[in-house]
């Protein structure tokens, strides 16, 4: 299967139909030397996502900003309040009580972009589903994997 087609199908399956049309045209891939599978997807020198062995995509905050143009993609996001923004930018977990709005497509273990005033500030892995995030007011909802002030970004 063509690499671009594989990424497009993965994006549509994980984040909703039509999300793949926001995939940039000038992307390049790196492949595993041992297995020959796609490892990373780049636009210029910016990492967009990493393919997981389970078929999922580990997206970056940069790629989440690009995909945010899609209405279906927004249903995989959470919006947080002003109080928690600085902590989340530093890589701390998102707690349920700080979630203002929650998309309906969030499942346990899925990648979730974290928004503040419609801007992506982090990307993490959901520890609760969207229904649980809305109903519970205690506990970590999302464990942050990549944030705007991550140490590997040099900011």
pLDDT tens per residue, range 75-117: 999 999 999 999 999 999 999 999 999 999 999 999 999 999 9
Q: Please give the domain boundaries of the chain with CATH numbers for all domains.
A: 3-67 (3.10.450.90), 75-150 (2.30.130.10)
Tokens for 24, please give them.
Answer: 């940039």
The predicted pLDDT at position 124 comes to: 94
User: Residues for the chain: how many in total?
Assistant: 155
C-alpha closest to that of 78 among 68, 91, 86, 66: 68
Q: Give per-residue pLDDT as tens, 122-135.
A: 999 999 999 999 99
Q: Give per-residue pLDDT as tens, 30-82.
A: 999 999 899 999 998 899 999 988 888 999 999 999 999 999 999 999 999 99
List C-alpha distances in Å: 69 to 3, 19, 74, 120: 23, 9, 8, 12
DSSP E strands in 9-139: the ranges are: 27-31, 38-43, 46-51, 57-59, 78-80, 94-95, 99-102, 111-116, 119-126
pTM of the model: 0.87
Tokens for 115, please give them.
Answer: 């928004």
């Amino acid at each position: 299967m063509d690499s671009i087609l594989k990424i497009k199908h993965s994006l549509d399956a994980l984040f909703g139909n039509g999300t793949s049309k926001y995939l940039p045209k000038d992307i390049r891939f790196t492949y595993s030397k041992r297995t020959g599978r796609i490892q990373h997807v780049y636009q210029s020198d910016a990492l967009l996502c990493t393919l997981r062995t389970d078929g999922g995509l580990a997206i970056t905050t940069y790629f989440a900003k690009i995909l945010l143009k899609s209405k279906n993609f927004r249903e995989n996001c959470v919006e947080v309040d002003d109080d928690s923004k600085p902590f989340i930018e530093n890589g701390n977990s998102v707690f349920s009580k700080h979630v203002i709005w929650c998309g309906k497509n969030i499942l346990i273990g899925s990648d979730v972009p974290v928004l503040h005033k419609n801007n992506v500030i982090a990307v993490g892995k959901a520890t609760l589903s969207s229904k649980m995030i809305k109903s519970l007011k205690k506990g970590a909802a999302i464990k942050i994997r990549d944030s705007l002030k991550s140490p590997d970004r040099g900011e």
